[in-house]
Structure 1
């Protein structure tokens, strides 16, 4: 078995799930969701799909909407991808985007403090 298979499956899951969210899922709770990545377990039994939102206040609603859409997404992916075993789909909020924004903010503060001290 190729060690790159989980990555290839993850890329395909991300692509197809993005299309499903855009074209087939009409739930307004997931309209503002942006998918940021997928991690597939080594045995391809679990796919964690990471997402982010422009407005973090809508996180709980989006998580609820994605959780209710997960069985539909898994069923559609199994028909599209034709894998022997379709991984379980779990959605997880991507904290890295907000952490990156916080780091940028702190760096700007430090840079401002350096200019002020000169």
Structure 2
């Protein structure tokens, strides 16, 4: 049975509607911009922030909005409590400067507005590992 062009289009639309519950994959451009931002922001943080003040920071993830106008930067942190309390404040103060420096390095129509969030996933993972290790120690019989 031959399908007319109209029938094929309707079939295709129906198929798309069925699979629309999946989130759309990020476009190749968004993936490239995300990777570029991760690399450049990481380098800028390394150059602009003092390790003694904020500890070691690493860029764990960058999420870019589909319109490329905003980006959320998830920052991992290693340091003492004093540095931990200072890090978000220092990042917030330096965000505009970092964005300006980023704009001078990138050849994009708009430089994304950067939002920094402390990513505690590594710290939570370390706590889970410590708990599992303590449970394992309690489980092993002492000889």
Structure 1 outlier segments of 4+, above 3 Å: 26-31
Larger Rg: 2
In the alignment, the residues of structure 1 paired with residue 63 and residue 40 of structure 2 have an alpha-carbon distance, to the nearest angstrom, of 15
5+ long unaligned stretches in structure 1: none
Which range is displaced more, 87-96 or 13-22? 13-22
Residue 109 in structure 1 maps to residue 134 in structure 2: yes
Which one scores higher on RCO, CA 8 angstroms, separation ≥ 6? 1
5+ long unaligned stretches in structure 2: 1-25
Which range is displaced more, 78-87 or 48-57? 48-57
Residue 37 in structure 1 maps to residue 61 in structure 2: yes
In the alignment, the residues of structure 2 paired with residue 69 and residue 30 of structure 1 have an alpha-carbon distance, to the nearest angstrom, of 12
In the alignment, the residues of structure 2 paired with residue 98 and residue 38 of structure 1 have an alpha-carbon distance, to the nearest angstrom, of 18
| Secondary structure of the structure 2 residue equivalent to 1:116 | coil
CA RMSD in angstroms, aligned pairs only: 2.3
Relative to the length of structure 1, the TM-score reads 0.82
Aligned residue pairs total 116
